[in-house]
């Protein structure tokens, strides 16, 4: 069997040198398992969103609670008490989230109903979704392949000097390309949703070309900002403080405060970018001007309208987490079926590395559907806040459904 460590001229990476040797067939098995699990869950998720909107909201909570309880029962039977405690804690968090958001289900169902009507009418969104899904799957699998090539060739050359720099460059490249890809999908789908809302006569190809052509540089700028903040957060979380830092008692809480500050900054930048890219999709403007408009919206309205009353983002994140669990479980079952000594016990390091990798790939693929729904929700909320007059002229047939949302979305003056 041809092994990945035969690639001797790829840049080595000492930080993951302890990973076990991985065969190409193993990577193919877990990749296929992750793709199968995420695509199957995405298909069920789409059907529930298009035809049974309430099931789309409730299903995420039920699936995650069921998965948490099932995992707890399995770890109890295996007498792995630490993992059982983690899964029970995860189930308790899901139940707490369900209790907190149950009063906001009605508003989110209205948003999903409008989204399902749009998706059933606009076949171009489905074409973009399929194309982006295929491209994202290809890039994800290629990145995984390169990852294991770099990790496996590390053992052949232990005298590497700049392994930390190589590690940072590889992680940053993955983060940056992922951000560009996801933000591009969000802007393109948001432009199509804005075209539907304003009932524009422009063709779909012209809309996509104008929006993507004018805003690609701004997409790269916003993606660069998010990638840098995310990289700083991950480095701060992963990096072990030196012995000198441990000796000084004052620096320990300062280090923890730095970690918390970077974590909150990462959340704020991502929240800010989501609506900034929605403004970019609506008006085809640059990142800086869209950011100013987003800041004005936040200054006048606050985050209540755009966050607290809409739980769709929480539901999508729960589906993404469940997709990762399903992908990892599917890969674990496939590896146990292989007639190979290193998978017979199920507790080897190689098995868990491949299971985690499969879960990561499944999460990445599941986020594709979340991107489409997120883009629609962001654009719709901004349009309902700033352009409610368009409802009476362009959406008379859907006006009752829109009016049901109006108590949550009061307009604000155009000029401060």
160-179: pLDDT as tens digits: 666 666 666 777 777 788 78
Question: What's the pLDDT score for residue 58?
Answer: 80
Residues in the chain: 416
Question: What's the pLDDT score for residue 15?
Answer: 36
Q: Name the 3-class secondary structure at 284.
A: coil
Mean pLDDT of the chain: 72
Token digits of residue 338:
């292989």
* 416 falls within a domain: no
Q: Name the 3-class secondary structure at 159.
A: coil
Question: What's the pLDDT score for residue 170?
Answer: 72
**Residue 23 phi, psi (nearest 5):** -85, 155
Instruction: State which residues form the domain around 10.
Output: 4-408
**Residue 100 phi, psi (nearest 5):** -75, -30
Question: What's the pLDDT score for residue 164?
Answer: 62
- Number of folded domains in the chain? 1
Cα(166)–Cα(177) distance, integer angstroms: 17
Token digits of residue 348:
């080897």
Q: Which residues contact 415 (CB under 8 A, 6 or more apart)?
A: none
Residue 273 has pLDDT above 80, yes or no: yes
Q: Name the 3-class secondary structure at 3.
A: strand
Q: How confident is the model at residue 37 (pLDDT cuts 50, 70, 90)?
A: low
Cα(175)–Cα(167) distance, integer angstroms: 12
Higher pLDDT, residue 35 or 212 = 212
* 190 falls within a domain: yes
* 414 falls within a domain: no
Among 47, 149, 60, 52, residue whose Cα is nearest residue 98 = 60
Question: What's the pLDDT score for residue 243?
Answer: 55
> Are 38 and 297 in contact, with CB atoms under 8 Å apart?
no
Q: Name the 3-class secondary structure at 23.
A: strand
Question: What's the pLDDT score for residue 13?
Answer: 37
Maximum average pLDDT range among 226-240, 275-289, 314-328, 366-380: 275-289
Question: What's the pLDDT score for residue 20?
Answer: 47
Q: How confident is the model at residue 153 (pLDDT cuts 50, 70, 90)?
A: low
Question: What's the pLDDT score for residue 262?
Answer: 87
Higher pLDDT, residue 42 or 95 = 95
The mean pLDDT of 42-51, rounded to a whole number, is: 66
Burial of 160 (0-12, 13-18, 19+ CB in 10 A): middle
* 415 falls within a domain: no
Question: What's the pLDDT score for residue 3?
Answer: 35
* 256 falls within a domain: yes
pLDDT digits (tens, 9 = 90+) for 91-126: 888 888 888 777 777 777 777 777 777 777 766 777
* 70 falls within a domain: yes
* 165 falls within a domain: yes
Angle at which helices 312-337 and 349-386 cross, to 10°: 160
Q: Which residues contact 381 (CB under 8 A, 6 or more apart)?
A: 305, 306, 310, 409
Residue 278 has pLDDT above 70, yes or no: yes
Q: Name the 3-class secondary structure at 396.
A: coil
The mean pLDDT of 127-155, rounded to a whole number, is: 70
- The whole-model pTM stands at 0.72
What's the distance, CA 96 to chain centroid?
22
DSSP per position, 111-142: HHHHHHHHHHH-HHHHHHHHHHHHHHHHHHHH
Residue 64 has pLDDT above 80, yes or no: yes
pLDDT digits (tens, 9 = 90+) for 355-411: 777 777 777 667 776 777 778 888 877 877 777 777 667 666 666 666 666 555 555
Question: What's the pLDDT score for residue 165?
Answer: 66
**Residue 3 phi, psi (nearest 5):** -105, 155
- 114-128, 274-288, 300-314: segment of lowest average pLDDT: 300-314
Cα(294)–Cα(306) distance, integer angstroms: 11
Cα(211)–Cα(324) distance, integer angstroms: 32
DSSP per position, 181-194: HHHHHHHHHHHHHH
Token digits of residue 36:
């199968």
Question: What's the pLDDT score for residue 48?
Answer: 67
Proportion of the chain above pLDDT 90, given as a percent: 0
Strand partners of residue 247: none
Question: What's the pLDDT score for residue 26?
Answer: 59
Among 375, 365, 367, residue whose Cα is nearest residue 318 = 367
Question: What's the pLDDT score for residue 2?
Answer: 32
Cα(67)–Cα(336) distance, integer angstroms: 20
* 19 falls within a domain: yes
């Amino acid at each position: 069997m041809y092994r990945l460590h035969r690639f001797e001229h790829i840049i080595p990476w000492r930080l993951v040198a302890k990973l076990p040797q991985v065969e190409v067939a193993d990577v193919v098995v877990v990749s296929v398992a992750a793709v199968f699990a995420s695509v199957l869950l995405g298909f069920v998720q789409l059907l529930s969103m298009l035809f049974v909107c309430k099931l789309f909201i409730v299903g995420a909570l039920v699936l995650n609670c069921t998965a948490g309880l099932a995992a707890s029962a399995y770890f109890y039977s295996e007498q792995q008490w630490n993992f059982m405690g983690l899964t029970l804690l995860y189930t308790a968090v899901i139940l707490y989230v369900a209790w907190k958001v149950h009063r906001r289900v009605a508003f989110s169902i209205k948003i999903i109903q409008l989204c399902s009507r749009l998706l059933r009418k606009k076949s171009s969104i489905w074409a973009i979704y399929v194309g982006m899904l295929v491209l994202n799957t290809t890039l994800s699998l290629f990145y995984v392949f390169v990852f294991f090539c770099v990790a496996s060739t590390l053992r052949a050359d232990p005298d590497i000097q700049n392994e930390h720099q190589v590690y940072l460059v590889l992680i940053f490249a993955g983060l940056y390309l992922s951000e560009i890809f996801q933000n591009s999908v969000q802007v393109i789908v948001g432009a199509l949703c804005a075209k539907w809302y304003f009932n524009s006569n422009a063709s779909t190809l012209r809309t996509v070309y104008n929006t993507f052509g004018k805003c690609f540089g701004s997409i790269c700028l916003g993606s660069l900002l998010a990638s840098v903040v995310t990289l700083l957060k991950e480095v701060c979380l992963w990096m072990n403080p030196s012995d000198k830092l441990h000796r000084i008692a004052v620096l320990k809480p300062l280090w923890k405060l730095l970690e918390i500050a970077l974590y909150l900054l990462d959340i704020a930048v991502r929240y800010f970018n989501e609506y900034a890219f929605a403004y970019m999709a609506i008006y085809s403007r640059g990142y800086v001007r869209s950011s100013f408009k987003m800041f004005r919206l936040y200054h006048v309205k606050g985050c209540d309208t755009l966050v607290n009353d809409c739980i769709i983002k929480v539901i999508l994140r729960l589906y993404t987490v469940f997709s990762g669990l399903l992908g990892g479980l599917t890969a674990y079952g496939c590896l146990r079926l292989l007639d190979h000594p290193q998978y017979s016990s199920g507790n080897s390091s190689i098995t868990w590395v491949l299971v985690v990798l499969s879960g990561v790939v499944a999460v990445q693929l599941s986020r594709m559907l979340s991107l489409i729904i997120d883009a629609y929700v962001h654009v719709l909320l901004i349009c309902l806040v700033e352009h409610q007059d368009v409802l009476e002229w362009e959406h008379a047939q859907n006006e009752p459904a829109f009016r049901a949302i109006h108590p949550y979305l009061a307009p604000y003056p155009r000029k401060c």
